[in-house]
Amino acid sequence: MIHARITGTGSYLPPLCLSNDDLVARGIDTSDEWVVGRTGIRTRHFARDDQSCSDLALEAAKNALAAAGRAVNEVDLVILATSTPDYIFPSTAAILQKKLGMANDAAVFDMQAVCSGFVYALATAEKFIRSGSHKCALVIGSEVFSHILNWDDRTTCVLFGDGAGAVVLEASDTPGILATALHADGRYSDILSVPGSVSGGKVTGSPFLQMDGQAVFKFAVRVLGEVAVEVCKAAGIATSEVDWVIPHQANVRILQATAKRLDLPMEKVVVTVAEHGNTSAASVPLALDLAVRDGRIRPGQRLLLQGVGGGFTWGAVLLTF
Ligand code: ACO
């Protein structure tokens, strides 16, 4: 039986890091007290004007490949999760392929599931690997949400940041990914969206992120609890047997409420939202890489990765690291 196993992780944060007070100094009508109290966010990173989604992805991908000890041309599948692609087309995965110098005709495509994007991409890559069609996948979440923030909307612009995270997922004799679950409910597509498109040379609708924060909060806590139980059940383990939960980092209160629902101590939850803000599809692989590199996550431990975001989409991946 072919299993799929993470063999390397990597991430990248652009150097510009702004605190809540820095946002106030730039004219945003907010306060450190409000943002920390409601969200737990203290700082976030923003890409330079000349840095695109593929640039951030490139650095994260190089770090993951180095950690896995793989050369770019050993990769036969690239799935890049993003809601802030470089272009309408080609895919950001194809642009990344060029920037990485890959010349082996690997299959590459983008995944659009907003903040669940990395979990969707990882679960998809697992199916390719387990089918035997591919052996070495690069799975990336990369975002420049600063491009779609309305700086006149203080209810959303303080929440997000830019960054990228990546993993190398390889065919293996031993598990690996133990269970995956992916879900969506398009009836909730309006509570978090960027309802714009390009047509006839113009943007129609709005190119900025809009959100019903309280509806998102309630939805996220419910489905993150449900999907955690679903993958643990599928793998035949109790949620208490999970060593680390690596959830999408939207808001520390969502993470606390989910942990409480699952009766898990916050000590088992990797939390990066204070430093990174919400980096959408990048948040889970960024948090994973951070906890791998600082030694918290060790080989053989059970990890629960979770995403929830626009669509509405949600999902989880349970794995042995
Ligand atoms: N600074 C200061 N005051 C603010 C700010 C701000 N940045 N934003 C809103 N306020 C004010 C409002 O104007 C309002 O003032 P009023 O009472 O005088 O009218 C007050 O704060 C309360 O506003 P609410 O929108 O009701 O605030 P709420 O308590 O719901 O908190 C928040 C907003 C933090 C967005 C919350 O709803 C939340 O955490 N939602 C989860 C959504 C989330 O994290 N989304 C991330 C993207 S989705 C995802 O990744 C899954």
Report field, pTM of the whole predicted structure over 0.95: yes
Class of domain 178-320: alpha beta
Could you tell me which residues are beta bridge partners of residue 320?
Answer: 302
Q: What is the pLDDT of residue 255?
A: 96
Tokens of residue 310, six digits: 């626009």
Neighbours of 33 (CB within 10 A): 9
Q: What is the pLDDT of residue 32?
A: 98
Q: What is the pLDDT of residue 179?
A: 98
Q: What is the pLDDT of residue 84?
A: 98
**Distance (Å, whole) CA 141 – CA 279:** 9
pLDDT tens digits, one per residue of 175-234: 999 999 999 999 999 999 999 999 999 999 999 999 999 999 999 999 999 999 999 999
pLDDT tens digits, one per residue of 71-105: 999 999 999 999 999 999 999 999 999 999 999 99
**Distance (Å, whole) CA 278 – CA 212:** 16
Ligand 1 centre and the CA of 102: distance in Å? 43
| Residue minimizing CA distance to atom 15 of ligand 1 | 155
**Distance (Å, whole) CA 164 – CA 127:** 23
73 lines ligand 1 (CB under 6 A): no
DSSP H helical ranges for 40-146:
53-68, 92-100, 117-131
251 lines ligand 1 (CB under 6 A): yes
Q: What is the pLDDT of residue 241?
A: 96
30 lines ligand 1 (CB under 6 A): yes
Q: What is the pLDDT of residue 276?
A: 98
**Distance (Å, whole) CA 172 – CA 7:** 10
What's the whole-number mean pLDDT along residues 6-23?
Answer: 98
- What number does the ligand 1 atom closest to the CA of 155 have? 8
Nearest to 54 by CA among 159, 153, 141: 141
pLDDT tens digits, one per residue of 279-299: 999 999 999 999 999 999 999
User: Is residue 247 classed as helix, strand or coil in its secondary structure?
Assistant: strand
Q: Is 157 a catalytic residue?
A: no
CATH match of 3-174 with 3.40.47.10:
yes
pLDDT tens digits, one per residue of 228-279: 999 999 999 999 999 999 999 999 999 999 999 999 999 999 999 999 999 9
pLDDT tens digits, one per residue of 114-161: 999 999 999 999 999 999 999 999 999 999 999 999 999 999 999 999
Q: 């060029």: which residue's tokens?
A: 98
191 lines ligand 1 (CB under 6 A): no
**Distance (Å, whole) CA 162 – CA 141:** 11
DSSP H helical ranges for the chain:
20-25, 32-39, 53-68, 92-100, 117-131, 154-157, 213-235, 252-261, 273-276, 283-293
Q: 């709005």: which residue's tokens?
A: 206
Domain ranges of the chain: 3-174, 178-320
Q: Count Cβ neighbours within 10 Å for each residue of 252-286 and write b for 16 or more, e otherwise.
A: bbbbebbbebbebeeebbbbbbebbbbbbbbbbbb
Q: Is 73 a catalytic residue?
A: no
214 lines ligand 1 (CB under 6 A): yes
Percent of the chain at pLDDT above 90? 100
Contact call for residues 42 and 19 (beta carbons, < 8 A): yes
Contact call for residues 235 and 201 (beta carbons, < 8 A): no
Is there a common fold for 3-174 and 178-320? yes
Q: What is the pLDDT of residue 230?
A: 98
Q: What is the pLDDT of residue 187?
A: 97
**Distance (Å, whole) CA 140 – CA 100:** 13
The one-letter amino acid at 182: L
**Distance (Å, whole) CA 236 – CA 98:** 42
The one-letter amino acid at 278: N
Ligand 1 centre and the CA of 109: distance in Å? 34
- What number does the ligand 1 atom closest to the CA of 214 have? 37
Q: What is the pLDDT of residue 266?
A: 97
